[in-house]
């Protein structure tokens, strides 16, 4: 029989896992596409943090037999680049269309002619989207390295809490508290 302390120790060791990185990157790619479409066509974006936490919890904890707060947090961190990629791509398109002498490189944004003619072929868009996505994932990985090297400072000093991310941390924590809390989160996501 396994004791509670052995289970807790085993869960606490599960943090930086390949499945969390893969899920986070996959969700980042999907969220980038959705956010880019919303940003370019409607001038608005959507944060997918709560959706990521819920999906990671369901996939890892319920379907694959267990996870830890650290693993779900890693998937959340890796998926967080979708909105910034959309803003960057939207801003690059705006510059290319609005500033006559911008002439940004084709690997960053399609040419002014392609944008004016509203060309939607993948040959024009795939390179800028992949380059932007690669830059965002690289930024996420660098952020992860900084986060792991400085996490004790943030955990010990209560005055350095980031209010925008506190809600996500509470949601991750509530996934492991009581069974009813994750159901409440699921109902909230469906209603939203």
The DSSP code sequence of 165-184 is: HHHHHHHHHHHTT-HHHHHH
What pTM value is reported for the model? 0.58
pLDDT band at 157; cut points 50, 70, 90: low
pLDDT tens-place string over residues 95-137: 888 887 877 888 888 888 888 888 888 888 888 888 887 887 7
pLDDT over 60 at 64, yes or no: yes
pLDDT over 50 at 8, yes or no: no
First to last CA, the chain: 42
């Amino acid at each position: 029989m396994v004791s509670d302390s052995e289970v807790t120790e085993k869960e606490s060791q599960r943090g930086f896992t390949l499945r969390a990185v893969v899920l986070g990157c996959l969700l980042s790619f999907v969220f980038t596409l959705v956010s880019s479409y919303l940003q370019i066509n409607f001038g608005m974006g959507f944060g997918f943090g709560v959706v990521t936490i819920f999906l990671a919890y369901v996939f890892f904890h319920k379907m694959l037999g267990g996870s830890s707060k650290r693993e779900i947090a890693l998937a959340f961190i890796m998926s967080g680049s979708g909105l910034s990629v959309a803003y960057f791509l939207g801003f690059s398109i705006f510059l290319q269309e609005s500033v006559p002498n911008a002439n940004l490189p084709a690997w960053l944004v399609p040419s002014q002619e392609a944008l004016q003619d509203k060309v939607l072929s993948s040959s024009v868009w795939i390179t800028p989207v992949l380059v932007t996505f690669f830059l965002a994932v690289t930024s996420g990985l660098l952020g992860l390295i900084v986060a792991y090297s400085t996490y004790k400072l943030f955990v010990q000093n209560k005055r350095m809490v980031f209010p925008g991310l506190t809600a996500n941390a509470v949601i991750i924590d509530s996934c492991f508290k009581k069974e009813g809390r994750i159901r409440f989160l699921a109902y909230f996501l469906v209603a939203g």
